């Protein structure tokens, strides 16, 4: 009966007497701990899947308890979230629209995270890209709207990527030069970017003359629709770019020299240095790419989703992207379904806000819970727990007792 627990042969071979050490081996004063843990020899895919599924449902269960605590029916809430995010074609399109920036930003922060460079400034990098490409639009508008559609978009993309890359470069430079804490640095840049957009809203050349409160002009009406990205299946074409980026990123990380360098730097900076890698340049280069991708998200938000520039253009994407990247284990392919799932939570939460009066912030709550449980899962995949059993009772006798 106990043997069934060890379904893999390797573990059995390694530890023949694992279940309970004979009591005489222990010093009389030493008590066997109630629970102890050992590393698993071989981790099977089945075991992994079981742990993840259990963890996921536990997260939903805790979320359900919180919904119950505020007097809502969690089952209806979860069902409505699914219906609200994929029930109709319009809802599905909206869900994908939320997933697009999330996916690209996750790929971007994934690059940095793989290097153990804690870039939590995706938000700021997105906004920097958005500001940079909006600058071109505003410039065009103020000069008689002279740039034709295609060149306008090309210049916007280039500016957005330079803007984002710049915001990625600054912290990377200081980190590699003096070891400045990149977590806080990138985070402070988020606030600076938000504040800068608030400033732009009050600037005469950027402001919407018809609006009574500070707000940047609607690009769509002022450029006669030139800014708008075309749509395919009801969503702006950004989703195609997002998929392409995820695929390229996967091959970049796994099949190229650059990708290899990134993983070595992430695993051990000393090894990388010893192998003669230019760790400084690798970090700066990766952050330039990471920032540029975020800048591209900024462009998509301006040209595809909002058609204007607001301080909420990034809208928490930078933070949610961290969750997506980590849930996907930094694998760009896995980020595709996960970003769609998180987008589903967000869209679904907006739906239940209107139907069940459940605050939309339930999406953040659930995202956080799921990640908490997934982080905890890692432990149960890598280790197994062994509980103390009654002393002086041999396995055989124990069997008899239970029978």
Partner 1 sequence: MKVLTIIINWINAAVISGTPLLLATSGEILTEKSGNLNLGVEGQMYMGAIAGLAGAWFTEKWFGVGGIIPLIAAVIFAFLMGCVSGLIYAVLTVTLRANQNVTGLTLAIFGTGFARFFGEVLSNKAGGFVAVGRETKEVFYIIDFGKLSEIPVIGTLFFRYNWLVYFALIIAIILGWFLNRTRKGLSLRAVGENPGTADSAGINVTRYKYAATTIGGGLCGLGGMCMSMVSQKGVWQPNCVSGYGWLAIALVIFATWSPLRAIYSSIIFGGLTVMYMRIPIPGLPREIYMMLPYIATIIVLVLTSIRQSKEHAQPASTGYNYYREER
- Which residues contact partner 1 by CB under 8 A? 66, 70, 118, 120, 174, 178-181, 183-185, 187-189, 191-192, 195-196, 198-199, 202, 319-320, 322-323, 326, 357, 359, 361-369, 371-372, 375-376, 378-379
**Least distance to partner 1, CB of residue 88, Å:** 26
Shortest distance in whole angstroms from residue 397 CB to partner 1:
32
* Torsion sign (Cα): 176, 194, 349, 62: positive
Neighbour count for residue 176 (Cβ, 10 Å)? 18
Q: Tell me how far, at minimum, the Cβ of 224 lies from partner 1, in Å.
A: 30
Q: For 360, what's the count of Cα atoms within 13 Å in the CB-facing half-sphere?
A: 10
Least separation in angstroms between CB 146 and partner 1: 29
Residue with tokens 């153990």: 116
Rounded least distance, CB 110 to partner 1, Å: 12
Between 87 and 376, CB nearer to partner 1 = 376
Residue closer to partner 1 (CB basis): 159 or 185: 185
d(CA 274, CA 239): 41
- Rounded to a whole number of angstroms, the minimum distance from the CB of residue 189 to partner 1 is 8
According to DSSP, the residues that pair with 207 across neighbouring strands are: 216
State the minimum distance, in angstroms, from the CB of residue 171 to partner 1: 9
Nearer to partner 1, 93 or 371 (CB): 371
**Nearest in space to 47 (alpha carbons), one of 376, 335, 382:** 382
Q: Which is nearer to partner 1, 303 or 366 (CB)?
A: 366
Question: Would you put residue 316 in left (φ > 0), alpha (ψ -120 to 50) or beta?
Answer: left
The whole-angstrom separation of Cα 211 and Cα 221 is 14
Nearer to partner 1, 244 or 375 (CB): 375
How far CA 373 is from CA of 63, 116, 283, 350, 378, in Å, comes to 11, 21, 31, 24, 9
Shortest separation between residue 152's beta carbon and partner 1, angstroms: 28
Closer residue to partner 1, CB minimum distance, 7 or 312: 312
- Output b/e per residue, 93-115; b: 16+ Cβ within 10 A: ebbbbbbbbbbbbbbbbbbbbbb
H or E segment and range at residue 3:
none
Cβ-based nearer residue to partner 1, 174 or 252: 174
Task: Pick the closest to residue 215 from 137, 312, 310 (CA basis).
Answer: 310
Residues 182 and 175: beta-carbon distance below 8 Å: yes
Element (H, E) at 383: strand 383-387
């Amino acid at each position: 009966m106990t043997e069934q627990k060890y379904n893999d042969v390797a573990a059995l071979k390694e530890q023949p007497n694992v279940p309970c050490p004979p009591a005489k081996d222990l010093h009389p004063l030493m008590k066997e701990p109630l629970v102890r843990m050992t590393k698993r020899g071989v981790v099977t895919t089945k075991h992994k899947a079981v742990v993840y599924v259990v963890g996921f449902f536990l997260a939903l269960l805790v979320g359900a308890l919180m919904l119950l605590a505020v007097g809502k029916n969690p089952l209806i809430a979860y069902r409505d979230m699914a219906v609200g995010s994929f029930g109709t074609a319009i809802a599905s399109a909206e869900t994908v629209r939320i997933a697009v920036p999330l996916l690209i930003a996750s790929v971007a922060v994934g690059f940095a995270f793989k290097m153990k460079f804690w870039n939590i400034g995706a938000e700021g990098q997105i906004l920097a890209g958005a500001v940079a490409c909006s600058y071109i639009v505003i410039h065009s508008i103020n000069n008689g709207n002279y740039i034709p559609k295609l060149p306008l978009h090309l210049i916007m993309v280039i500016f957005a990527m330079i803007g984002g890359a710049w915001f990625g470069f600054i912290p990377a430079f200081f980190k590699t030069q003096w070891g400045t804490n990149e977590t806080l640095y990138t985070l402070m840049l988020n606030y600076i970017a938000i504040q800068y957009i608030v400033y732009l809203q009050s600037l005469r050349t950027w402001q919407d003359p018809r609006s009574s409160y500070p707000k940047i002009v609607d690009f769509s009406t002022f450029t006669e629709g030139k800014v708008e990205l075309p749509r395919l299946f009801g969503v702006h074409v950004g989703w195609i770019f997002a998929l392409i980026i995820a695929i390229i990123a996967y091959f970049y990380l796994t099949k190229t020299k650059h990708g290899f360098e990134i993983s070595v730097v992430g695993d051990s900076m000393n090894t990388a240095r010893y192998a003669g890698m230019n760790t400084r340049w690798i970090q700066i280069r990766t952050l330039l790419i990471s920032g540029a991708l975020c800048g591209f998200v900024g462009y998509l938000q301006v040209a595809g989703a909002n058609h204007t520039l607001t301080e909420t253009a990034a809208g928490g994407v930078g933070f949610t992207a961290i969750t997506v990247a980590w849930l996907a284990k930094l694998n760009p392919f896995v980020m595709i379904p996960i970003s769609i799932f998180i987008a589903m939570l967000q869209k679904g939460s907006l739906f239940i806000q209107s139907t069940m009066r459940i605050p939309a912030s339930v999406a953040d709550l659930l995202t956080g819970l799921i990640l908490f449980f997934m982080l905890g899962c890692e432990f149960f995949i890598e280790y197994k727990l062994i509980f103390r059993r009654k002393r002086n009772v041999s396995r055989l006798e124990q069997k008899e007792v239970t029978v």
